[in-house]
Amino acid sequence: MSGVDRLATSTEEDREAAVSAAAGAVRRGDLVVIPTDTVYGIAADAFSHDAVRRLLQAKGRGRDMPPPVLVSAATTLDALAEGVPPWARTLVEEFWPGPLTLVCRQQGSLMWDLGETRGTVAVRMPDDEVALAVLERTGPLAVSSANLTGRPAATDADQAEEMLGDAVAVIVDAGTSPGGEASTIVDVTVPQGRVLRLGALSLEQLNAAIEEHGVVLEDLG
């Protein structure tokens, strides 16, 4: 087994210790595994070039597959993205926190390197108390599903440790992921939007939420 620090969240005291350990590791530039409302994620400080590089290496990914960024509040979206259309803000109001990732134009002033993003950033606010508690202490995190590329995403800490234990400093074990299905990804950089990946949210759910805007999303995944 790996020498990773694995911490449970069974009690309030356990959860506080786990959140504190994960946040501390992130601030030191380490990688951590945290639970989310969809699947477990491997996380790094989004503004640490080295940590993001090591996250991609751990998963066996290249810079052509940049990780999404998780935030603890919907208001953070405007610090990371620009030109977010009104219909996309309606999606945020309806489905954040939750399994919806928005690909936006990133703020030009951001001093980070997530990979070959082509000026975009994928942002999500997870509906998970532990993940949000970590994010509140660290700020935006680059987070990708906790798995080696080509293998199923981890839905519990055992799977995450088996695949990524040697690459991370802390694993927060909150049991089995309640969702188990990846988020739905919507590109909001084009006027009518487009669905890049269907996941936990269906096309029908998305379109029902933005009907008033006259925008009809299509699945291009």
Upstream peptide bond of 66 is cis (omega within 30 degrees of 0) = no
Answer yes or no: is 207 within a domain: no
Answer yes or no: is 217 within a domain: no
Q: Structure tokens of 107? A: 């703020």
Answer yes or no: is 196 within a domain: no
Contact of 184 with 206, CB cutoff 8 Å: yes
Element (H, E) at 151: none
Ranges of residues in the chain with a pLDDT under 50 are 1
- Position 200 scores a pLDDT of 93
- Position 16 scores a pLDDT of 98
The residues, ordered by sequence, that sit 6+ positions from 51 with a Cβ below 8 Å of its Cβ are: 26, 29, 30, 31, 44, 45, 142
Split into its structural domains, the chain has a count of 1
User: Residue 32 belongs to what domain range?
Assistant: 5-182
- Position 182 scores a pLDDT of 87
Q: Compute the distance between CA of residue 29 and CA of residue 15 in angstroms, rounded to an integer.
A: 21
Answer yes or no: is 41 within a domain: yes
- Position 1 scores a pLDDT of 43
Q: Compute the distance between CA of residue 57 and CA of residue 211 in angstroms, rounded to an integer.
A: 41
Answer yes or no: is 143 within a domain: yes
Question: What is the Rg, in whole angstroms, of the alpha carbon atoms belonging to the chain?
Answer: 17
- Position 66 scores a pLDDT of 95
Answer yes or no: is 34 within a domain: yes
- Position 221 scores a pLDDT of 64
Answer yes or no: is 205 within a domain: no
Query: At 140, which CATH number?
Result: 3.90.870.10
- Position 179 scores a pLDDT of 80
Q: What is the pLDDT of residues 87-99, one digit of tens each?
A: 999 999 999 999 9
In this structure, the number of other CB atoms found within 10 A of the CB of residue 219 comes to 13
Answer yes or no: is 191 within a domain: no
Question: End-to-end alpha-carbon separation of the chain, Å?
Answer: 37
Q: What is the pLDDT of residues 134-150, one digit of tens each?
A: 999 999 999 999 999 99
Q: Residue 60, by phi and psi: left (phi above 0), alpha (psi -120 to 50) or beta?
A: left
